[in-house]
């Protein structure tokens, strides 16, 4: 069964506007489709799903967009502070949650940078890269770290070859 057409509620302006779009067929996408379009489509879909969830009247949400669980592997690259381009070898971290504005993840070691590049694996062996500004990090009782940050912009992959998600070490 095909996905229904999505509508978008513009919560930041306080009004509701219908923005009708066709759903994105991620499985049918080609590697190399502009990341900006993918990020825009991802944000649109996440906002649509989250706008349909009910919050209890007494719940207070500090964030500008709701988070959803995201228990997937994410490739994390260090970023050159000047060029903001990914450098070095990637490490795997485990996603915790994602929203239209950012992502949270857990990892075993500290992160020395305030900006990182994250890659999300999509069907067909493709990966899409986004520059993320880390906004928080905490050490947990389990002896691991949890970090999160805001999506800044899509970026080009640091390598031409597809990422080998099975051979990547964990951070």
CATH of the domain at 132: 2.40.10.220
Least confident of 9-18, 54-63, 102-111, 124-133: 9-18
pLDDT at 83 (0 to 100): 92
Cα–Cα dist 76/163, whole Å: 11
pLDDT at 171 (0 to 100): 80
pLDDT at 47 (0 to 100): 62
Please count the structural domains in the chain.
1
Q: Which of 115, 95, 118 is nearest to 105 (CA)?
A: 95
Domain residues for the domain of 110 are 68-155
| Cβ neighbours of 145 (radius 10 Å) | 18
């Amino acid at each position: 069964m095909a996905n229904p057409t999505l509508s978008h509620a513009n919560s930041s302006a306080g009004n509701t506007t219908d923005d009708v779009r066709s759903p994105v067929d991620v499985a049918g996408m080609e590697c190399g489709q502009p990341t900006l379009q993918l990020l825009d489509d991802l944000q649109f879909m996440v906002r649509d799903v989250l706008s349909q969830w009910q919050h209890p009247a007494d719940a207070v949400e500090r964030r500008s967009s709701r988070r959803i669980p995201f228990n997937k592997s994410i490739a994390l690259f260090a970023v050159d502070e000047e060029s903001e381009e990914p450098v070095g070898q990637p490490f795997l971290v485990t996603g915790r949650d994602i929203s239209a504005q950012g992502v949270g993840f857990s990892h075993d070691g500290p992160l020395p940078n305030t900006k990182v590049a994250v890659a999300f694996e999509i069907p067909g062996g493709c990966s899409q890269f986004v520059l993320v500004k880390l906004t928080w990090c905490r050490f947990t009782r389990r002896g691991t770290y949890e970090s999160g940050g805001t999506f800044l912009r899509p970026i080009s992959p640091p390598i031409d070859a597809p990422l080998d998600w099975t051979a990547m070490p964990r951070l």
